[in-house]
Structure 1
Amino acid sequence: MLRYGLIGLGSMGRHHARNIRALDGVELVGVADPFGDKFGVAGDLPVFEDFRALIDLDLDAAVVAVPTAQHAQVAIALAEAGINTLVEKPLASTLDEGEAMVEAFESRNLVGAVGYVERCSPALMELRKRIQEGQLGKIYQIVTHRQSPFPARIADVGVVKDLATHDIDLTAWVAGSAYDTLFAQTASQAGRDYEDLVSVSGKLENGVIVNHLVNWLSPFKERTTTVLGENGALVAETVMSDLTFHENGQALLEWDHLSSFRGVSEGASIKYAIQKREPLAVEHENFRNAILGTGTDHVTMREALKTMKVIQTILDSAGSGVALQLND
């Protein structure tokens, strides 16, 4: 039985607690949060103010759901104590902190994982599988929309580090290719210290064109990923985890007005019936399996560091007003 500790009992921490308790082969033995247990998830466990008290509980693993600015301090202390760790995204506040975290875990052969839960979305996992099987043929473009009202829980980062980081990670993962060039524009329209809107366009190393529209200003919630290829398009909607295939039309065009059209035409649309498990439960299974040596589906800290570098390039491009190449 793996002994787990949980650090941070806020909006995400309460869901981590529920999933840890539901996970086979795992026991939650301690929790910590300097602000207490406002959601009442500790049960009969004591709530420590200082996370270091958990280290004395002989932990095998810990889950870190504290503000981004505290990720490096907490995670490195856990690594030094020999504790495998899953930290919420993004990896850290700065690239230097991220580098230090990667070194701390890799040098000790510990599992250092990052909670990019979108990779565990049933719709996106099915989308990626179908792309790998060749359903779309050659991939042309990947477009993501991630829009919603402002979440009151976010105080220490802008929309790029909090939300767009999901799109950067999942796009590279789905396409199987790193980012090459990008151009970004940001705005702060609501008077906050950080940006609340970003538009990104770019290209991956394999030639796929990408576009990301992300904001905290929309009066609706949208989470879509569209992958366009030579055989049609797959659209994943991850709020309800639906996946739809829009195929290129095969019927001959007999209408004079359309007969000179030189692109594709509309074909059949298929909404797939897929098994829908809670993504966070899958994320925890992947982390546990990595600790046990029975799986490699977790997002590593090194992968998350690559995503951080793309995120920083987005902010740099927005600040300079020019397109940037990732390897410059």
Structure 2
Amino acid sequence: MTQLRAGLVGLGMMGRHHLRNLLALDGTDLVAVADALGDPHGVANGLHVLTDVDRLIAKGLDYCVVAVPTEFHLEVGEALAAAGVHALIEKPLAADSDSAATLVRAFADKSIIGGVGHIERFNPALLALKHRLEAGELGSIYQIATRRQGPFPARIADVGVTKDLASHDIDLTSWLTGQEYIRVSANIALKSGRPHEDMVSATCTLANGVVTSHVVNWLTPFKERTVAVTGEKGTFVADTLTADLTYYENASVRTEWDDISHFRGVAEGNVTRFALTKTEPLRTEHREFQKAVNGDPKATIVTLEQGQQVVRVCEAMLESSSNGTTIDLSVQN
């Protein structure tokens, strides 16, 4: 494996975790970091902190991780693409669909690798869930319901909860099912006095007819991160905070309690909580991107095109809430 020269732009709340993983990654040398504000968390680990991406590029990079605020993704991403530097860009890919499309073209024109940091794809619980869904253990999928709630994060100022958090659920839902969103209906709320929404509730439909619901906010005094996939054989519930996966099986025995059997379509069966190897999702994400840069065709990354689609669905949620309508994405595909 070729020893790669990597850089990092942004040493904020997420950037510090990227730095930790880059330093621990065999086969990669973190040669420099950049942040216009310096090193706010004191994590540079002796590395000289440069002031901008151009000075970082001058160090001679194979690839770079972009962890600056979303509003700067386009500027930094275009600079890296122009220099022929592969890039892993934190989610959401860009502040809007036009900027996301510009980044897709910029990296494609240079035939270099661009990835998006949708970290949930690398969560052990969701990796195990996807494997079991692909093996047919649930049968046909009927519904996916996600809940992503918690206190307001001080790190976010330039986007609302839809692009910051709901983007996770949009991406993981498309990834688990292999389907795109075709209809989106949503409501948002602004309760914290910030310029962007801090609550969104959305009901959507995928191309294969699967119904999804997403409840997301920055207003709950506890953290909740659950994904429930219901199908003909039962329900899988993934808790991505604890990386646990539980299967609630439809009963295969006859219900003899008449009052219950009259109104239940299904009954409770066995409940199984799977034992999983719990590897840090961000470490797995870095390893996969490193493999992609090294030319491994089996490397798993979130492509820029997939990141662009997530931004489109986020915008559809905001548009739906603003207009009070259901947005038909199928006519835009």
1:124 lines up with 2:126 in the alignment: yes
Structure 1 length-normalised TM: 0.98
Which of the numbers 298, 302, 306 marks the counterpart of 2:305?
302
Aligned equivalent of 2:15: 13
Match of 2:318 among 310, 315, 319: 315
Provide the rounded CA distance (Å) in 2 between the counterparts of 1:241 and 1:96.
35
User: Which amino acid is the alignment partner of residue 301 of structure 2?
Assistant: H
Q: 2:170 aligns with which of 168, 171, 179?
A: 168
Q: Could you say which residue in structure 2 is the equivalent of 1:203? A: 205
How far apart, CA to CA, are the structure 2 residues paired with 1:226 and 1:256?
28
Q: Alpha-carbon deviations, 1:156-215, whole Å to 9, x = none?
A: 000001000000000010011001111100010111101111110011001101000000
Q: Which runs of 5+ in 1 are unaligned?
A: none
Q: What's the offset of the Cα at 1:40?
A: 2.0
Q: Distance in 2 between matches of 1:114 and 1:324?
A: 25
Q: Identify the match of residue 181 of structure 1 among 180, 183, 201.
A: 183
**Aligned mates of 1:54, 1:185 — CA distance in 2:** 41
Q: Show the counterpart of 2:104.
A: 102
Query: Aligned pair count?
Result: 328
Q: Secondary structure at the match of 1:217?
A: coil
**Residues 240 and 262 of structure 1, relative CA distance in 2, 3 Å threshold:** closer
3-state DSSP of counterpart to 1:142? strand
- Of 158-167 and 35-44, more deviation after overlay is shown by 35-44
Displacement after TM superposition at 1:258 (Å): 2.3
Distance in 2 of aligned mates of 1:40 and 1:4: 20
Aligned CA RMSD, in angstroms, stands at: 0.9
- Separation of aligned partners in 1, 2:261 and 2:67: 57
2:166 pairs with 1:192: no
Whole-Å separation in 2 of the counterparts to 1:202 and 1:51: 38
The runs of 4+ residues in structure 1 deviating greater than 3 Å are none
From 143, 152, 160, give the equivalent of 1:158: 160
- Asked if residue 267 in structure 1 is aligned to residue 274 in structure 2, the reply is no
Q: What SS does structure 2 have at the residue aligned with 1:270? A: strand
- Which AA in structure 1 matches 2:147? H
Deviations 1:120-167 (A, max 9, x none): 000001001100000000100000000001001100000001000000
- Secondary structure of 1:141's counterpart equals strand
Matched with 2:137 is 135
Q: Is the 8 A contact 2:53 2:79 kept in 1?
A: no
- Structure 2: gaps spanning 5 or more residues: none
Q: How many angstroms does 1:262 deviate by?
A: 4.8
Give the superposition deviation at 1:51: 2.0
C-alpha distance in 2, partners of 1:227/1:280? 24
Question: Who is 1:85 aligned against?
Answer: 87
Letter in 2 for 1:13: G
1:307-327 Cα deviation digits (max 9, x unpaired): 111111111111100111103
Tell me which amino acid in the other structure corresponds to 2:310: T
Per-residue CA deviation, residues 237-285 of structure 1 (Å, 9 max, x unaligned), is 0001100000001122122322434511001100000010000001001
Q: 2:255 pairs with 253, 256, 260, which one?
A: 253
Give, in whole Å, the separation in 1 of the partners of 2:45 and 2:184: 47
What are the superposed Cα offsets for residues 279-320 of structure 1, whole Å, 9 maximum, x if unpaired?
000100111011111133100111100111111111111110
Further displaced range: 44-53 or 107-116: 44-53
1:61 matched residue in structure 2: 63
Q: Tell whether the 8 Å contact from 2:6 to 2:62 is kept in structure 1 after alignment.
A: yes
Matched to 1:201, the amino acid is T
Counterpart code for 1:130: R
Question: Bigger CA drift: 38-47 or 23-32?
Answer: 38-47
Tell me the distance in 1 between the aligned counterparts of 2:258 and 2:152: 49
How far apart, in 1, do the equivalents of 2:177 and 2:330 lie?
19
1:227 match: secondary structure:
strand
SS in 2 for 1:218: coil
